[in-house]
């Protein structure tokens, strides 16, 4: 029982909305195609299949987080000395073994009950999680690796929802993929502030370590506009061809505020306990931004997921109030 408690604590489930909403973006888009008059082989997934995909998507972060914690033990001994794997409360070998079993079940469910092709983004997501631990020591490459890793959840959700056929890569799909990468790459940039000291000692040259706190805090404020600027560029160049409805624009406006507020918080307090507690707004901005994209093809679902993300990310984050854990 103590092992399971430590394992669940290490999963840090407030992150689950990041992978969960990213994946549900793919599922919702697939369902939109299946309901349109232009569908080919797409079929609306059953309620049981959607619930199963939702569970897999939300749990995927936590399962992979165990791998991430194991690979990052060196810096966590400084950044988060109270984490279960650092304190010895969670046995690394047993934790990795359990994660391996859970990932094995995920692969079996995907292959035999969902769609075998969805194994590709699932496996790539795991490999990118491992790559991220090393890539984050090389500046922006870490942010890109993390962003693409989460975007694999969107691809998984789309491919696992049901049969589909080429072309797999269309301007709208690539645009959404880019936006998910940008939002998550920015989100992980802000997390580097709380890890600044440990990353320095571990020689992890993240952007914040490379630039130093003074320049990074200014960059934090400037980059807060990156998601909405990326959206504007994709729309202006007509690469993103989807029509913007009022609900989408309202949610984008709210998300832009959350992003700017996040940037301001890290500009104001780039060090100290505030850098940890500011993560609640940071995670909300990312999860809500992904939910906003769903409004391009399902306004009601987007509103529901936006509200759920905002409320429950904060609720789950408050259950992990120790900044050193």
Domain count, the chain: 1
Taking every pair of Cα atoms in the chain, the longest distance, rounded to a whole number of angstroms, is 57
Domain that holds residue 182: 2-318
Q: Is residue 324 part of a domain?
A: no
pLDDT of residue 324: 66
Nearest to 289 by CA among 215, 185, 193, 219: 185
- Is position 102 within any domain? yes
Question: 298: which residues sit within 8 A by CB, 6+ positions away?
Answer: 28, 31, 32
Residue 309 per-residue DSSP state: H
**Token duo for residue 18:** 């990041």
Q: Is residue 40 part of a domain?
A: yes
**Which residue spans within the chain are E strands per DSSP?**
none
Q: What is the pLDDT along the chain (325 residues), one digit of tens a residue?
A: 788 888 988 888 888 899 999 999 999 999 999 998 777 888 999 999 999 999 999 888 888 888 888 888 888 888 888 888 988 899 999 999 999 999 999 999 999 999 999 999 999 999 999 999 889 888 899 999 999 999 999 999 999 999 988 788 899 999 999 999 999 999 999 999 998 988 888 888 899 999 999 999 999 999 999 999 999 999 999 999 899 999 999 999 999 999 999 999 999 999 988 899 999 999 999 999 999 999 999 999 999 999 999 999 988 888 777 776 6
> Does residue 299 sit within a domain?
yes
pLDDT at 191: 94
pTM of the entire structure?
A: 0.93
Is 35 domain-assigned? Answer: yes
Residue 163 belongs to a domain: yes
Q: Which of 255, 233, 253 has the alpha carbon at shortest distance from 245?
A: 253
């Amino acid at each position: 029982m103590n092992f399971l408690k430590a394992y669940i604590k290490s999963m840090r489930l407030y992150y689950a909305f990041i992978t969960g909403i990213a994946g549900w973006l793919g599922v919702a888009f697939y369902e939109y195609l299946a309901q349109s008059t232009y569908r080919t082989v797409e079929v609306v997934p059953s309620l049981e299949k959607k619930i199963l995909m939702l569970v897999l998507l939300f749990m995927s972060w936590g399962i992979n987080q165990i791998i991430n914690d194991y690979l990052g033990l060196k810096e966590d001994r400084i950044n988060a000395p109270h984490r279960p794997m650092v304190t010895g409360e969670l046995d690394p070998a047993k934790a990795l073994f359990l994660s391996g079993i859970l990932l094995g079940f995920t692969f079996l469910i995907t292959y035999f009950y969902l769609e075998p092709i969805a194994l590709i983004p699932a496996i790539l997501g795991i490999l990118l999680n491992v790559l991220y631990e090393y890539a984050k020591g090389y500046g922006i490459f870490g942010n890109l690796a993390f962003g693409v890793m989460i975007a694999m959840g969107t691809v998984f959700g789309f491919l696992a929802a049901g049969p589909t056929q080429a072309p797999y890569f269309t301007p709208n799909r690539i645009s959404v993929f880019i936006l998910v990468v940008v939002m998550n790459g920015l989100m992980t940039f802000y997390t580097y502030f709380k890890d600044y000291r440990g990353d320095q000692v571990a020689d992890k040259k993240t952007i914040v370590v490379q630039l130093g706190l003074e320049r990074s805090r200014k960059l934090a404020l400037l980059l807060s506009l990156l998601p909405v600027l990326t959206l504007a560029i994709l729309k202006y160049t007509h690469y993103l061809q989807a029509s913007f409805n009022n609900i989408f624009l309202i949610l984008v406006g709210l998300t832009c505020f959350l992003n700017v507020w996040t940037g301001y918080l890290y500009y104001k307090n780039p060090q100290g306990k505030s850098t940890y507690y500011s993560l609640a707004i940071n995670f909300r901005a990312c999860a809500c931004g992904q939910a906003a994209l769903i409004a391009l093809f399902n306004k009601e679902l987007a509103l529901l997921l936006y509200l759920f993300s905002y409320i429950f990310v904060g609720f789950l984050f408050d259950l992990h109030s120790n900044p050193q854990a």
